[in-house]
């Protein structure tokens, strides 16, 4: 079968293209060739977390892979039959565990395989969703589509040392469903905070600021603050809500200073008042591109990641999509090509 060629410098031009392309390749069995990987980044090519994600996936689908090394700007991925596996992996850096799971969760489940994985790396690091976002937001959205997994955060891992430990069990999908996520109705939210090597009073101050913003906007919020030992100092905050017509999360981490973290996360949560948040909007594309009939969701903005994923999914699967402008945001429609 001839490879589908993907320009890795298109759209947002980052790791998202690699993740989406190899995920869909594994599920559909169609080989892909990705060129110009992370072309416009400060350090072009594959980084350790991209490398491990592809490497684990290649074990699961017995793929032949060319160009799989750090700084590689071209990768060829030829998938084969999937396997049920029990693996232990170590990124070796504070590379993002949640970004690796973005590859593995839909791929394994939609290949109708199972995976038990223990992985060491970064649980809450820059330029990535937090592990709590994966555990409480992504898990909810994917379960509505028909993709199920469990996530146990055994130890937190912050930048630069990492050392976090996450265990996940991914189950084979038995059926896929369309979704309709249009507008948040609930006024109930949950706030989760994990921190390490930071004074408790500073953390509580940020949480109080976040709570005040939520209160002013009419939200009843349950709060959980937990001190967890990690190799580096760090703090992670997630605010999320679910209802029948929305799945929304807003997260953030400590970077050099804690000041402003609570306010930033709370304001982003309030602004995300449609069906999904900005980050979830692009994570939904890969599975929905393989679901028969049309799914629809609304989001405040169209991000580069969303545009990129829509393009990659349509090129590999042949799915159809459309974006409509609303007064307060955008509506995304995706019609998949096959029910796996």
Those residues with Cβ within 8 angstroms of residue 330's Cβ, 6 or more apart along the chain or in another chain: 298, 299, 300, 301, 302, 323, 324
Please report which residue ranges of the chain form alpha helices under DSSP H: 15-28, 48-60, 97-110, 131-133, 139-145, 200-216, 261-271, 278-283, 285-288, 304-317
Cβ–Cβ under 8 Å, residues 330 and 302: yes
Those residues with Cβ within 8 angstroms of residue 42's Cβ, 6 or more apart along the chain or in another chain: none
**Two tokens at 302?**
């169209």
Question: 13, 19, 57: which is closest to 39 by C-alpha?
Answer: 13
- Unique residue bearing structure tokens 């684990």: 56
**Two tokens at 126?**
């820059």
Q: Does the structural domain 1-80 have CATH classification 3.30.110?
A: yes
Q: Cα(28)–Cα(30) distance, rounded to whole angstroms? A: 5
242 is catalytic: no
The pLDDT, as a whole number, for residue 202 is 97
DSSP 215: H
Cβ–Cβ under 8 Å, residues 157 and 139: no
Q: Cα(94)–Cα(27) distance, rounded to whole angstroms? A: 28
Q: Cα(329)–Cα(323) distance, rounded to whole angstroms? A: 10
Quick: pLDDT tens for 202-240.
999 999 999 999 999 999 999 999 999 999 999 999 999
The pLDDT, as a whole number, for residue 10 is 80
Exposed/middle/buried for residue 147 (C-beta within 10 Å: 0-12, 13-18, 19+): buried
CATH 3.30.110 segments of the chain: 1-80
Its CATH class, for the domain covering 181-271, is alpha beta
Scored b (16 or more CB within 10 A) or e, 16-53 reads bbbbbbbbbbbbbebbbbbebbbeeeeebbbbebbbbb
The length of the chain is: 340
pLDDT band at 150 (very low <50, low <70, confident <90, very high): very high
**Does pTM top 0.85 for this prediction?**
yes
Phi, psi of 329 (to 5 degrees): 165, -140
Q: Which of 50, 197, 242, 305 is catalytic?
A: 305
The pLDDT, as a whole number, for residue 1 is 72
CATH 3.30.360.20 segments of the chain: 181-271
Quick: pLDDT tens for 264-298.
999 999 999 999 999 999 999 999 999 999 999 99
């Amino acid at each position: 079968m001839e490879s589908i060629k993907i320009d890795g410098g298109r759209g947002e031009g980052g790791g998202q293209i690699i993740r989406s392309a190899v995920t869909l390749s594994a599920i559909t069995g169609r080989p892909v060739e990705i060129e110009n990987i992370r072309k416009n980044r400060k350090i072009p090519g594959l980084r350790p977390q991209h490398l491990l994600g592809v490497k684990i996936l290649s074990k699961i689908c017995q793929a032949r892979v060319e160009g799989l090394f750090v700084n590689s700007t071209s990768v060829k991925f030829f998938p084969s039959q999937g396997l049920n596996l029990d693996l232990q992996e170590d990124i070796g850096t504070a590379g993002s565990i949640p970004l690796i799971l973005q590859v593995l969760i839909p791929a394994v489940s939609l290949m109708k395989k199972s995976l038990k994985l223990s992985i060491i790396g970064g649980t809450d690091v820059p330029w990535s969703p937090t592990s709590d976002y994966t555990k409480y937001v992504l898990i909810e959205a994917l379960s509505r589509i028909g993709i199920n997994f469990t996530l146990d955060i055994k130890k937190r891992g912050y930048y630069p040392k990492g050392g976090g430990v996450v265990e996940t069990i991914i189950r084979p999908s038995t059926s896929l469903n369309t979704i309709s996520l249009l507008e948040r109705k609930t006024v109930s939210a949950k706030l989760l905070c994990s921190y390490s090597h930071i004074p408790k009073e500073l953390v509580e101050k940020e949480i109080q600021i976040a709570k005040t913003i939520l209160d002013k906007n009419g939200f009843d919020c349950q709060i959980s603050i937990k001190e967890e030992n990690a190799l580096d100092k760090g703090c992670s905050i997630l605010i999320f809500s679910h209802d029948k017509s929305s799945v929304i999360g807003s997260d953030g981490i400590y970077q050099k200073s804690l000041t402003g973290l609570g306010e930033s996360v709370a304001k982003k949560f309030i602004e995300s008042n449609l069906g999904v948040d900005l980050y979830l909007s692009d994570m939904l594309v890969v599975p929905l591109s393989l679901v028969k009939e049309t799914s629809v969701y609304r989001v405040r903005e169209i991000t580069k990641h969303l545009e990129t994923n829509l393009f990659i999914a349509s090129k590999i699967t042949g799915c159809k999509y459309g974006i409509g402008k609303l007064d307060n945001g955008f509506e995304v429609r995706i019609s998949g090509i096959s029910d796996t």
